[in-house]
Structure 1
C-alpha cells in the first residue's frame, strides 16, 4: 500500500534544510560537465500551527500527486493529480508556467510517461467481468492534453483485445517516437484457436501500430534497443518448467541459455553496459541473488552487486545499464556511467541529507525529477536541471498534512523465538513519550514483499492517534536475500505468524509498549495475519482488523485452481504451495477453522471488486463468527479493488479501522 491547492506548486515550500540556494550553488563544484545555477530565490518553509492531529481523511486521501513524468527534452512535466474525487492530468511547461488539463474519469492510474514531447502515455486499469468472475485489465492511452485527444493502444489491431500486458517503452524509430506494449492475440475458434504473444510499437502521431515480434511461444518479456531493434526475449514453458533466453540474429531467434525452473526462474532485465549483452537477475542456483551480463554467445559475466537489495537503472536514450538503485535512495546508488555517477553528489548538494530518490530523467540524464521525503516531509517532487541550472518545485504528495504530524519511521530489528533476526520499521507517535505505548502491528501483504522507510499513510494515521506502529518484515519477505525469503517456505501461519508476536514481546521487553494494549491490522497477507493473530496465535492482541485477508486456505486455493484452468501444477499453484506447506495441514492455518479460539473483536474490510483475494473470503469468516456468537463487523467497499485505489473507500477504510481500534485498543 504509497494533492494540491493549486496545480502548479505545493502548499508548503522547502526550508533551506532540504533545498536551498546555498545547497544548489554548492552542487556546481561537483559537476564535471559545466553547470550554472543562477537566479534561484531563497526558500522558506511555511509552518502552520497544528497542535492537534489533522482529520484522518487527510491521511486516507490518495496522494494529491500520484505520478510525475519529465518530457524527453526536459521542458515539460506531466502530473497525475487526484482532485475532487477524480484524476486530472496536468501538462505543465517548466519554461513558461503554462498548463493544460484533461480529466481521466473512472480510470485508476497505474503509470505515467511521456510518449513524445507533446503527448503523454498513461497506463490505467479497470475491473471487468470475466464470466462469473472479475479480472483487473490494464489499458494504455496516448493522450494529447492540449488537443484533448486520446487514443487507446490495440484498439485497431485485429484479433487483439484493447488491453496491454507489459513491455512498455518509449523508443525512437527514424526520428519519430513510438510506444511499445505487449499483448496476446487469439485467432480461430474452439480447439483451433491460436494464441500468440505479440509486441507492437505505436506511433505517437497518427497512432499506427507496427508489429515488432509475435510468436506462439509464451514470451515473458523482450529487450529492445532505443531505435526499436530487437535484442533478446525470455520464454517460459509452464508444462516442461523450462525458462529460455533467446538472442536475435540475422537468421532469427537463437537459444543461448535455458534452465529448468520450477519456480525461481531468471528475470531478463534489459541491456548490459556494452549495449550488446543482456542483463539477467538470477533467482536460483550458484548465482542466486546476482545480476549477470550475458553475451550474444551465452557467456556469463557476474556483476559485483547485491541483487537482493538493488535494481537496475538504464540510460534513457540507449537503454544500456548505467547503474543500480536501492531503498537507500540516490545516496546509496551505484553508477558505472560517468554522467550518472555525478548525480549522487549533485542531488545531495541540492537537497542535503534528506532521503532522495530519482523519480525520472529527461533524455539528458542531468535533467532529473527528484522525490524527497522524511524529516517531516511526506514527499515532494522537484525538477532540477543540473546542466543549465535551476529547479522547480512540482508539488507535495500530502500538502494538507502538517510537517509536525509526520512521524519518523525508523528501522527496528529483533530476534524471533528461534533466533532469526527480523528486520522491520517502528513508527512512534510524535506527541508522547516512547514508553508503555499502545501498539498496532501492521504486517505487509505479499507475503513475498517488504516494507521500507518510505511514507506510509496507514502507519502515519495510526501514529497520529497515539499508537506505536510495528511493521515487521517477517521471514518469507523479499528484500533481504533469497535465504531470508526461503526461511518462510512452509511457514505460512506458523513461524511467519509468530514473527509478529515476537516483535510485540521485544517491544514490551524494551519498555516501549504496554502488553495489555496491542492490536493487529493488515491487508492482503497482512489481513490473513490479522485473522491468524486472533485465532491461531491468540492471547497477544485485543482486536484485529483484516483488510482483504484470506480466512479459508482450501477455499482460496480452489479459487486459484479454477483460475489456472484446473492445472494444479501451474507456476501460480506451485508458488502458493511452497509457502503453505503440506496440503493435509491447511486447515491448521485457516482462521475460519479456529473460530472457537477467537476471544477478541474482529473487523473485516474488503473491496467488492477484489480480483486477488475473493470477497467471499471475508463473508465466510463473517458468517462463521456470527454463527458462533463472536464479535465481528463486515464493511463492504463498493467499487474497490485489492489495492485501495479509490479515494472515498480509502478514507472510509482509515476512518472505520481507526474508530474500531480506538474502541477496542485505546491508547492511554
Structure 2
C-alpha cells in the first residue's frame, strides 16, 4: 500500500498497529511458508511441469493482525498446507497443487502473553483448484479486531495479483491466464487481458489519476463544517432539574458535566478518554456514566449539595461491562454484566457503595452469577422487577433471542436479513416483547409479540405506506408513541390524545423543524427536546409542559450559529411507470438560475434521505449549487411495496426515478439545465457513473465516493458476503453472477468504460471492506488504457466512510475544486469556470 494520497500535498498515513514490530520479529525466526508436500512452491521465473490432475494456485494474504500461521485443508479433511513466516502487508506465492476442493481452515493468532486458534467456518473460505489452470481464490484479508482477535474475509484483488505475476512470473503469466475460483465468477481477468492486448506500457504507468483543481476560497471551510459535535449524550434526572451531558471541549477532550436547569449553573464531574455515550440517573443525585464501545468503563457520581462544587464523589466500577438494569426498587444496587477471567459472560447484582471502587464481576465468583449457562450469550435483559427474562445469543453465527425465567430459557426469535419481527423492548412484566414487523403487511407496524406462542398478538400502530422507525415507552415500559418520517421530517405520534395534543403544541412552537423528545422527567412535565432542520444544526431545548415554555440549553455545533444555511423544498415526481417518488431540493439563496448537483443516496434498499441537517449538502449549497436528493424506489419509509420495488432495479428503474425527479425540479425551480453534475457515495457512486453513461448530454461531470463499478465484484470482495443469507439477499437485489453475469456486466460502469466520457472524479478508501478499493483500482486502470485518466483521491487507512479530519478536508476540498471546474461559479455563465 502506498502512503501518499494520489492528489494534494497533504498526507494521510496508514495506521501501523502496536504489534507490527512483534510480527517483524516473528518473521525473522519462522520458516517461510512451511507445509506439507500437497502444495509445492513455484519459484519466480520457474515454469513448473504439472502432473496429471494438477493446477497452479495463487495464494495471497493481506496480514493486518498478529498471525503466526494459517492452515489450508483439502475438502473436509485435515491440514494440507501451513503458511507461516507471514509479514505485515501483502504475502503472495504460487503453488502447484492437486486439483480439488480446498478451504482456508484455521488462523493462529498470538500476542505477547497468549496464543489462540481461530477456525474459519463460512463457506466463503472454500475454493477449488482446477487442473491445468492458474487458479486464484481471492486474497485472505486479516484485520486486527482487538486484543487476540481478528476479522477475516476473502477479497478478490485480481488486478494486483495479475500485476505481481507479470513482474515476478512473466513467462508463467503469459502461458497461463489467471482464473478466479471463488463462489462466484469474475470476468474481469479475461476482459482486462483483451483491453491491454496491444498496450506495452508497464502496469505501474496505468495506475495514476489526475489531481482535483484548486477550489479557491471556500465560503464554509471543511474543517469548520465537519468539526465534531459538542455533545455525545444527555440524560435528564427523574425530578427534571438536572441534565447530565457528555461534552467535548475545544481541545477535543471529553468530560461529563451536569447542568442545573433551575439555577442555570454548570458543574464538571470528571474527564474521560473518549465520549461517554451512556448516561443514566440511578436516582436524582446519582449519575452513572459509561464510556467506550461494547463493554464499557463505568463511573458512578454521587452529587451532594448543589451549592458545593466539591461535594461530588466519583467511584469507578471495576471491569468493563454493561448495566442491565438500574433496579429502581433497590436504591443501592444495579444489575451489571461483563466477562470474567475465563471470558464467560456473567450478570451480578452489585452495590454502589464503597470509598475507592465498586466491586463487580471482577471479584465475584462465576458460580454466583445470576444468568444461567445458555451458551454464547451476548447480552441480558430484565423485566420491571429486575428479573432476567431475555438474552441475545449466537446460534450458528446468527443472533437469536432467548426468553424465559428462573433459569429456563428457549429460543423465540432468530434474526433475518429481510422482514421478520424486530425486537425493541420488554414489557414491565417481561411476558411481552414489543417491536416492529412488516411480515404479511403493507408497511412496518408497531406490534406486541408473545414469546410463548411466538406470534404477533396485537398491532399497536399501523398506517398505510408508513414505516415505523421507533417507539417511546413510559415508566412502566408501555409504548406511548411511535416515530416515523413524513415528507422528510421525523414525526412523533402519540397513541393517546393527551400526548398528541402536546406534540401538536411543540410542532407549532418550532414550525418546519423536526422536534423530538429525547428525555423527560418521571412525571412527564419536564422534557429535553432535540430540534433541527435541513438548514439548522441541532439544538437542545428544555421544555416545561406546565408553562408551555421552551428554553435553549445547547447548540450542538455553536461554531455554526452565525452561519446561514440553505432551506430544502419537498418535491413530488412521477416515474415512467407511474410510481410516486419524493425528493428534496436544497436551494441556495441568491438571484438567477442555480447549478444543480444531483446527489443519490447509498444503500440503495432500506435507506432514505431525510430533512435533518446534513454537512455535505450544506457544503455543496455554500458553493452556490442546488442539491437534489431523491428517495427513489427501494428507499425506506414508504411501505413494503415501495421498498421491494427497488429489488432488481439497480442501474435502470432507480435511475429512471432520479430522472423523473430531475425533470420535476427543473420545471418547478430556478435551476440551470446546462450546469448539472451528479455525485454519490456507495450505491450513490454507482448511480452517479450509470447516470453519466445514460445521460452524457445532461451532466457536465460525475463524482463517485466509495462507489461500485462492477456489480459482480461485490459478490467476491465485500465483507458482507461471508453470510450466505446476505448473498441470497444480494442476488435478489442486484442479480446472481452465476446466472445473470452478462446482464450485470452490461449495467456495470467498469464494462461500459468506453461510454464514460464525462469528466470523472473517484474518491475511495484503500481499506474499504464494504465496497472494496478494487472497484476503483480496476476502473482507473481501464480509463488509463483509454487515455482518459480520472481525478482520483485514494486514502490509505480509510474504510467505507471517512472520519479522519485530514481525509475529509482533502476529499471535500477536492470535490469543490472539481465541481467549480466543470460547473463554474453560480453567477457565471455556462462554461466560464471550465479548466480552472
Band of TM-score, shorter chain: 0.7 to 0.9
- TM-score, with structure 1 as normaliser: 0.74
> Of 269, 277, 284, which residue of structure 1 is paired with 2:424?
269
1:602–1:72 CA distance, 2 compared to 1 (3 A): farther
Over residues 515-543 of structure 1, what are the superposed CA-to-partner deviations in whole Å (9 max), with x where a residue is unaligned?
22111112222222223333465443211
Say whether the 8 Å CA contact 1:270–1:278 is kept in structure 2. yes
Say whether the 8 Å CA contact 1:601–1:631 is kept in structure 2. no
Match of residue 736 from structure 2: 582
CA distance, structure 1, for counterparts of residue 439 and residue 532 of structure 2: 35
Match of residue 375 from structure 2: 216
Match of residue 321 from structure 1: 479
Say whether the 8 Å CA contact 1:86–1:104 is kept in structure 2. no
Match of residue 573 from structure 1: 727
| CA deviation after TM superposition for structure 1 residue 478, in Å | 0.9
CA distance, structure 1, for counterparts of residue 466 and residue 287 of structure 2: 36
Match of residue 234 from structure 2: 68
| CA deviation after TM superposition for structure 1 residue 279, in Å | 1.6
CA distance, structure 2, for counterparts of residue 185 and residue 586 of structure 1: 51
1:657–1:411 CA distance, 2 compared to 1 (3 A): same
Say whether the 8 Å CA contact 2:582–2:632 is kept in structure 1. yes
CA distance, structure 1, for counterparts of residue 377 and residue 371 of structure 2: 16
User: What are the within-5 Å matches in structure 2 for residues 13-412 of structure 1?
Assistant: 53-84=219-250, 86-95=252-261, 97-100=265-268, 111-114=277-280, 116=282, 118-122=286-290, 124=292, 138=294, 140-143=296-299, 154=320, 172=328, 174-176=330-332, 178=334, 206=358, 208-209=360-361, 212=371, 215-216=374-375, 224-232=382-390, 247-250=403-406, 252-254=408-410, 263-271=418-426, 276-286=431-441, 289-295=444-450, 297-298=452-453, 300-306=457-463, 308-315=466-473, 317-327=475-485, 332-336=491-495, 340=499, 343-345=502-504, 347-348=506-507, 351=510, 354-374=513-533, 377-386=536-545, 392-401=551-560, 405-412=564-571
The answer as to 2:572 corresponding to 1:413 is: yes
Over residues 119-161 of structure 1, what are the superposed CA-to-partner deviations in whole Å (9 max), with x where a residue is unaligned?
4545655xxxxxxxxxxxx553324687787769647xxxxxx
Match of residue 652 from structure 2: 494
The answer as to 2:707 corresponding to 1:552 is: no
Q: Matched residue of 1:533: which SS?
A: helix
CA distance, structure 1, for counterparts of residue 339 and residue 647 of structure 2: 33
CA distance, structure 2, for counterparts of residue 610 and residue 110 of structure 1: 27
| CA deviation after TM superposition for structure 1 residue 465, in Å | 1.6
Say whether the 8 Å CA contact 1:140–1:152 is kept in structure 2. no
The answer as to 2:777 corresponding to 1:619 is: yes
CA distance, structure 1, for counterparts of residue 350 and residue 759 of structure 2: 54
Unaligned runs of 5+ in 1: 1-51, 126-137, 156-163, 188-195
Q: Matched residue of 1:517: which SS?
A: strand
Over residues 619-638 of structure 1, what are the superposed CA-to-partner deviations in whole Å (9 max), with x where a residue is unaligned?
33333323332241222345
Q: Matched residue of 1:215: which SS?
A: coil
CA distance, structure 2, for counterparts of residue 124 and residue 389 of structure 1: 37
Over residues 41-88 of structure 1, what are the superposed CA-to-partner deviations in whole Å (9 max), with x where a residue is unaligned?
xxxxxxxxxxx9444543333334454333455443344445446352
User: What are the within-5 Å matches in structure 2 for residues 626-641 of structure 1?
Assistant: 626-637=784-795, 640-641=798-799
Match of residue 430 from structure 1: 589
Q: Matched residue of 1:405: which SS?
A: coil
Match of residue 607 from structure 2: 449
Say whether the 8 Å CA contact 1:277–1:294 is kept in structure 2. yes
Stretch moving more, 467-476 or 145-154:
145-154
Match of residue 594 from structure 1: 752
1:524–1:78 CA distance, 2 compared to 1 (3 A): farther
| CA deviation after TM superposition for structure 1 residue 489, in Å | 0.5
CA distance, structure 1, for counterparts of residue 561 and residue 590 of structure 2: 14
1:311–1:225 CA distance, 2 compared to 1 (3 A): farther
Stretch moving more, 634-643 or 442-451:
634-643
CA distance, structure 1, for counterparts of residue 573 and residue 428 of structure 2: 39
RMSD: 4.1
Say whether the 8 Å CA contact 1:475–1:484 is kept in structure 2. yes
Q: Matched residue of 1:412: which SS?
A: strand
- TM-score, with structure 2 as normaliser: 0.60
| CA deviation after TM superposition for structure 1 residue 582, in Å | 3.3
| CA deviation after TM superposition for structure 1 residue 275, in Å | 6.4
1:597–1:235 CA distance, 2 compared to 1 (3 A): same
CA distance, structure 2, for counterparts of residue 527 and residue 111 of structure 1: 32
Unaligned runs of 5+ in 2: 1-217, 302-311, 362-368, 829-836
1:287–1:523 CA distance, 2 compared to 1 (3 A): closer
Over residues 378-429 of structure 1, what are the superposed CA-to-partner deviations in whole Å (9 max), with x where a residue is unaligned?
2211133436997653222333335672111121121222221221211111
| CA deviation after TM superposition for structure 1 residue 173, in Å | 6.7
> Of 461, 472, 475, which residue of structure 1 is paired with 2:630?
472
Say whether the 8 Å CA contact 1:270–1:320 is kept in structure 2. no
1:104–1:175 CA distance, 2 compared to 1 (3 A): closer
CA distance, structure 2, for counterparts of residue 197 and residue 288 of structure 1: 37
Say whether the 8 Å CA contact 1:222–1:233 is kept in structure 2. yes
Say whether the 8 Å CA contact 1:560–1:573 is kept in structure 2. no
Say whether the 8 Å CA contact 2:683–2:707 is kept in structure 1. yes
Say whether the 8 Å CA contact 1:425–1:470 is kept in structure 2. yes
Say whether the 8 Å CA contact 2:682–2:707 is kept in structure 1. yes
| CA deviation after TM superposition for structure 1 residue 169, in Å | 6.9
Over residues 459-507 of structure 1, what are the superposed CA-to-partner deviations in whole Å (9 max), with x where a residue is unaligned?
1111122111100011111111111110011112222233223322333
Q: Matched residue of 2:685: which SS?
A: helix
Number of aligned pairs? 575
| CA deviation after TM superposition for structure 1 residue 440, in Å | 0.4
Match of residue 663 from structure 2: 505
Over residues 180-201 of structure 1, what are the superposed CA-to-partner deviations in whole Å (9 max), with x where a residue is unaligned?
67999997xxxxxxxx988788
